[in-house]
Structure 1
Amino acid sequence: MNAMLKTVTFAFAAVMASMASPSLTKADEKPPVKLEAAAPKQSPDAVVAKVNGVAITRGEIDRAVKIFLAQNRSPQQPTPEQVEQLEEGALEQMIAAEVLYQAGVKQAPKDVEKLADEKVAQGKARFPSQEEFEKALNANSLTEKELKELTRKDIIINNLVEKEVASRITVPDSEAEKFYKENIDKFKRPESIKASHILVGVDSKASAEDKKKAREKADGLLKKIKEGGDFAVLAKENSTCPSSAQGGDLGYFGKGQMVPPFEKAAFSLKPGEVSDVVETQFGYHIIKLTEKKEAETAKFSDEKDKIKEYLKNQKMQQAVAEYITELKGKAKVERMEAAAK
């Protein structure tokens, strides 16, 4: 249900998702997106629309678009036309969110204030300090008080949708089984394996001497393994791959997911076997095959719950859209065209 609500509570969900992700590394950070407007914009306080007299401002729309762009991290600056489309989409979704919120206030949980405080506190706890938390708030043009208000509204909207829409949607087993039979190809699983590796990393452009040293180290490690050395321990101590923290465990993967030399060597092994030293552009690998799964078609009994959840979400999308249309029909929605441009 949360994935569906993100399309409805555009501003609320976007802000909460943005506040819940403080762990970006420096390598992930990008300069702020500069919005090129098609025409000069009015003041952030300018009213763009009203829902039963409640204003939606230019500043709220701009903030929603800014957060959306930051989350999606497009490598290119959006054109004025794209910005205009995003603004229109944000406005439509904020109008939808407002009609839902107004309808939901009457059914709001009695402890909504407590729930909002707890949710904000959980988000704040993910930051290493109050300073970092406030920095994230400032980046989203928010105060902590405004964040709590957005969170409170989000809780009320979720509660309404759960009571008035989600609780009424059912997916019988027969419908799920029909979907399974009509989409059987979606449930075919190719051959996959689970493997661990030790990587002695060396750049493909490294000198012949550096490559020789790396190869000698890999050969030495392979010798230790053949003499009974613990593969996981040796991986933790020597591998330059991040998987070293898990003893070299790469989990399950299928064909086409690894570079060709690595894939060829890994798929040729039997469970428990260890490869010779394999060279790729990343360096020298020693691969240990842990498990192998043959190609198969997943059984309906194993996939039933996932199918039902998928079909319920599909019905939810439609039902929420219809519910919003119904609420809009009963509400007074005004759009101030001059302020929206």
Structure 2
Amino acid sequence: MKQLLGLILVAIFLIGGCGSDSDKLKKDTHEYELAKALAEKHSYLDPDQNNVLVKTNNFKLTVGEVITALFEGMGNRIDGLKDMPAENLKQYFENISERLAEQKMLLKKADAAGIKVSESEVDSLLQFQYERAGGVERFKSMLERTGVQMDFIRRDLEKNRKINRYLETILEAQLEISEQELQQAYNQDKTATVRHILMNTQGKSEQEKMEIYQKMEKILAEAKSGKDFATLANNYSEDPGSNTRGGLYEDFEQGAMVEPFDRAAFSLPVGEISDIVETQYGYHILKVLDRKKDTRPYDQVRSELLKEVKNQKRKEVVPNFIEELKQQEGFEIVSYES
């Protein structure tokens, strides 16, 4: 349930019409054959038409570009798209197209602003990836298994670093942190301990989700009537990380959980039981057992706080900036029928 935080941007654009021949997929290639297979579910994805998926005032993103980008990033896992239900496939393409298009838009802005990333910086970023993977050989072995090329990894690292540097430059004033903000952050609760009950809704239909919600309402009524919450969690919760421990999560830091769960854990009074909380995983009921503040001296944690508060502000400022930029650029995702 813990989420990996960070700025990950990808780009593609949806619009009516056909793209240029320069990004059209070539026949008798794996990319072309895949696009043909996907077009059986959504004819708009036909590689021969090379329809536009996203447009702005300055560029268009086509089916050919998106398929090519997916091949580079997914390697031999891409054939799994053939098994995706038609409804899910359309939503997937809309999401990935929007993200890829955002990346393309921001890269153009970064290039226009003269933002550069050196080879040595890319080497340093790549070294960090090696360390996370457990060493160079393990990282390369992973790439071999997935069929992803090292050149793609280097280009992707360079793109993301360029975008981040552009955002840091253009939003520098908005991302400044005052001493008052740091003091406020220091005085906030640092960790929370809760018990919770989860009923999973991932992959469920709307009808199934409604039935699950009704079950959760009955469980919530039991909890608020005074029944032992730990026993209810053991009996009903579908969270494998806690459903044998009375739904217990101890001393997790603020921001460690998905946002709706995190917000409830750090805003609900200690001892209280939440209403039903929905996250990407399903429906939750929380009981807050305890919260703690940081006991270390302020001077000792100031640099750590500065990083945390800046990251939080960045999560608020950057999406707003991107949405404003999309409006200025005439960013449009094409709606199409199967």
Return the TM-score normalized by structure 1. 0.44
TM-score, structure 2 length as denominator? 0.45
